[in-house]
Every structure is written in structure tokens, then in C-alpha cells.
Amino acid sequence: MMKPVLATLVLIATVLVRADEPATAAPPASLSAEVRQQLTTSLPGYTPPAPAKPPAAPNPDVLELPKMTVKQQPRPRVRLGDSVILGPKAFNEDLAKKNLSTLDRGVLNKFTLPSWLGGVSAAERAREDYNIAQKQQFLSDVFTISKAVEQTDPAAAKSLREAAGKP
């Protein structure tokens, strides 16, 4: 096997030797009109394909809907966190720590009245606030969906809002 440098030198030498030789071959004579015509008719020609024809009548089995573009931010996926694996009592206490002030948790609720006297602990109040916020978020979501449904079926949108309002 030859090394690349040696192969390059041989190629350059061959080109230089050929360049020094005189050109002895005569240029080809131009073809006559008869020969050109015979060659043209004997060779296959290019015929472009026929354009596709649209169907004569629309297919009754195919339903074509108008094109639409939907732009909506996806809601964040629910991830497993501390609140998912907590029990109800621990979850309520965690809500109280997050949502209530230290004054409210430590001083004002140091001693909670019994439930039969109307006493509510800080954890229970935090859970009630959480439930109210969840209900408001749910109603907001239903209202958003019903606004979209209202464009196609107002009666269904109204019944959806009424169903969401029931306890």
C-alpha cells in the first residue's frame, strides 16, 4: 500500500507529463441535422406526470372541520410533596404554620375552647381557609370552561355552572 504523500507525488508527476504532450486528438465534428433527429427520436423523452385532479364530489364519510389554533398554558403537574403524604391532623397543623401568624398560633390560640363551646383550633381554621380557597379555584375553573362551552351550547354551560354551585 502506498503512503499518501507518495501517491500525491505520483499524481502530480503524471499530470505534468500529460501537460507537456501535444494534443493530437481532433475535436469531434458536429452532427448533422438528420443524425441529431434520429438520436432524439430513438431516446426516451420526459413526460411530466399529470396533475392530481380534485375529487368530483366531497366524500360524505369524511367530516372536514375548520382549522383552529389553541394556545393555552398547561397547568403544572401535581408533584408528590409533603402535603400529599401527611395525615389530616398533620396537614391541618402544617397549614396553620404556613398561613397563620405566630401571634395567632402561639398566643391567641394557646388555650382552645372545647368544640361544644364553639372553640376552633388554629389548625381547623387554617383547614377551613384552605377548603374555601380550593372551592374558589374550582369555581373559577368551571367558569372558565363554561365560557368556552357557551359558544357552542349555552344551555350546557348554564347547567354546568349550576351544578358546580351546588354543595
pLDDT for 111 equals: 61
Note the pTM of the prediction, 2 decimals: 0.41
Distance of CA 131 to CAs 75, 111, 120, 138, 165, Å?
20, 24, 15, 10, 15
Q: Which residue has the cell 374558589?
A: 136
pLDDT digits (tens, 9 = 90+) for 73-92: 888 777 766 556 777 888 88
Percent of the chain with pLDDT over 90: 3
User: What confidence tier does 163 reach under pLDDT thresholds 50, 70, 90?
Assistant: confident
**Which among 164, 100, 165 has a CA at the least distance from the CA of 127?**
100
Instruction: Please count the other Cβ atoms lying within 10 Å of the Cβ belonging to residue 95.
Output: 22
C-alpha cell at 31: 452532427
pLDDT digits (tens, 9 = 90+) for 148-162: 888 888 898 888 888
More confident: 37 or 105:
37
Q: Which residue has the cell 501535444?
A: 22
pLDDT digits (tens, 9 = 90+) for 46-66: 788 888 776 667 788 888 888
